[in-house]
Amino acid sequence: MASYIVRRLLSGLLTLFLFMTLLFFAMNALLPGDYVSSLGPMTADDANAAREALGLNRPLFEQYFDWLGSVATFDLGTSFSTRVSVWETIRLSMSATVVVLTVGLGLAFVLGGWLGRVSGYKGSSFGVGSLTFVAILCLTLFPPALAVAMEQRVKGVTGWFGLGDFGSVDYGAFVDVTPAGVLWRVFFVFVATSILLWVVESLVFRLTRRRLPRWVFLVAMVAIPLLIWSWLGIADRVIDLAGAMSLLIVAVVILTFGEIQLVTRAAMDDVMMEDYVMVARAKGLPESQVRDRHAARTALLPVLSRFAVAIPYFLTGLVILEVVFGGTQGAAGLQIVGTVQRINAPAGLGSLLFGALGTQDYPLLIGAMVVVGILTLLIRIVLDVVHAALDPRIRFSAGEEPA
């Protein structure tokens, strides 16, 4: 297993390097003009001076190696428009995207997987038909239209926040407890809790040969993070932010669960006639156990491999949603709070990306694209490792990478 992970990581690094090379040259070659040309009319001398100051008049290859060297040290350069470190801006914006993506996709996976299992198991009936119909409907919804409808109707009626209202949440005097700071803590607490639960589960199984009931996980997934957050003293802020992000998360779930449900259903259809499922039923096991323990485990594999290919599209969908929810307050800037300089970053990678596109701020744009790429790659690697853990054939087929 360890050797598989190492191999996968190394190949991921090579992919990442090629990706960044492609991105840099594609951006410079395909997008016309540069930051200076977006500033409006100026004399040729002034323009040249501005290009000199930003280092835009050097040969492209020199800029490329410079950029690559600094990326290797987590320095994505300086934004042209705000003169603030790109990495700093992205780190603040990214937190919302990462949390929404993990929570949203996690919920979609649970919901879609469950609906898919149920509808795949029952065979054809009216209920299953309507479940499939709803899934296809949600799958083909036009994301921005959904976002606008939700913002106009749900937000107007219930008074829930949208992502764009981040700024209105009061963070008191703590400069380090920005929304981004809270969100990163939320994210890492979630990850830590999942790992903890996984370890406990496998320990219990080793010792007693028994699986914990599912409600234990549900309770623990809510209770443990809440405990840790209140211990960190950020529980109330977490609840504020949860309100601010609830609409976005719901939108992500609506747009993605359909695909997971349909793929799970197709996979369940295939698995249900397998001999071991019939054996399990013949033994007289409860139907839910046959469904979830015997059939669904195998059906999970094709779902995972489909998921891995679909991740970039989910991420794009989220970016699109963020642009609509986040409104036009996209551009990054500096804010002076008291004596402390604080970077005022837009909430979410989507707003950041399109803000940078509007001002032709290429360091910020490329930086955001690199981060989107790295996120995608990381999720793919995690999914591949999970896949390999579930399916020994992948671990032991040397050199062959899962697609």
| 309 binds another protein, rule: CB under 8 A | yes
| 39 binds another protein, rule: CB under 8 A | no
If binding means CB under 8 A, how many residues of this protein chain bind another protein? 58
> How far is it, in rounded angstroms, from Cα 80 to Cα 54?
7
- Considering only 1, 6, 68, 145, the residue that binds another protein (CB under 8 A) is 145
Residue type, 177: V
- Considering only 2, 29, 173, 403, the residue that binds another protein (CB under 8 A) is 403
Which among 100-108, 144-152, 167-175, 187-195 is the span making contact with another protein, rule CB under 8 A? Answer: 144-152
| 64 binds another protein, rule: CB under 8 A | no
145: left (phi over 0), alpha (psi -120 to 50) or beta: alpha
Closest CA to 179 of 194, 165, 166, 191: 166
Q: Supply 68's token pair.
A: 């690559």
> How far is it, in rounded angstroms, from Cα 280 to Cα 100?
39
Which of residues 62 and 401 has its CB atom nearest to another protein in the complex? 401
Closest CA to 332 of 348, 353, 346: 346
Backbone angles phi, psi at 122, to 5 degrees: -75, -20
Residue type, 57: N
| 395 binds another protein, rule: CB under 8 A | no
Which of residues 126 and 215 has its CB atom nearest to another protein in the complex? 126
Alpha helices in 273-391 (DSSP H): 275-282, 287-289, 296-326, 349-359, 362-390
For the chain, the residue count is 403
User: Exposure string (b/e) for 327-351, b if CB count within 10 Å is 16 or more?
Assistant: eeebbbeeeeeeeeeebbbbbbbbb
Site for another protein in 247-276 (CB under 8 A): 266-267, 269-270, 273-276
| 10 binds another protein, rule: CB under 8 A | no
| 316 binds another protein, rule: CB under 8 A | yes
- Considering only 25, 65, 205, 313, the residue that binds another protein (CB under 8 A) is 313
Which of residues 110 and 266 has its CB atom nearest to another protein in the complex? 266
Which of residues 229 and 354 has its CB atom nearest to another protein in the complex? 354
| SS3 category, 334 | strand
| 142 binds another protein, rule: CB under 8 A | yes
Q: What x/- string results for residues 346 through 375 when contact with another protein is judged by CB under 8 A? A: -------xx--xx-x----x---x--xx--
CB atoms within 10 A of CB 5: 15
Residues in contact with another protein by CB under 8 A are: 14-16, 18-19, 22-23, 30-33, 132, 136-137, 139-145, 148-149, 152, 266-267, 269-270, 273-276, 301-302, 305-306, 309, 312-313, 315-316, 319-320, 323, 353-354, 357-358, 360, 365, 369, 372-373, 376-377, 380, 401, 403
